[in-house]
Amino acid sequence: MNINFGSQIRSYVLQPYRIAKDHRTKVEVGDVDRVLDGYLEPFIRGYLLMRRNGGVPVAADAGDDLE
């Protein structure tokens, strides 16, 4: 996917439920406040796993290894 002007990479839903979703990697985080405070590790991990998998989004679980 090409990222061009106007492309949406991530969305933040604050009402009626709370979730932050990365559209490239399909990673979703329910603790939006923590993400807005700078906790981006799940998105970085999802991106690295996607790159390792040849650009195919992979669900990033806490137990996945990046080795």
Instruction: Please state whether the predicted TM-score (pTM) of the whole model is above 0.75.
Output: no
How much of the chain is helix, strand and coil, in % rounded to 5? 25, 15, 60
Tell me how far apart the alpha carbons of residues 64 and 41 are, in angstroms, rounded to a whole number: 13
26, 31, 57, 62, 63 from 34: Cα distances, Å: 18, 6, 23, 17, 20
Pick from 16, 19, 44: nearest CA to 31? 19
pLDDT per residue as tens digits for the range 24-63: 899 999 999 999 999 999 999 999 999 998 888 876 554 4
pLDDT per residue as tens digits for the range 3-20: 677 778 899 999 999 999
Domain ranges of the chain: 10-52
| pLDDT reported for residue 35 | 95
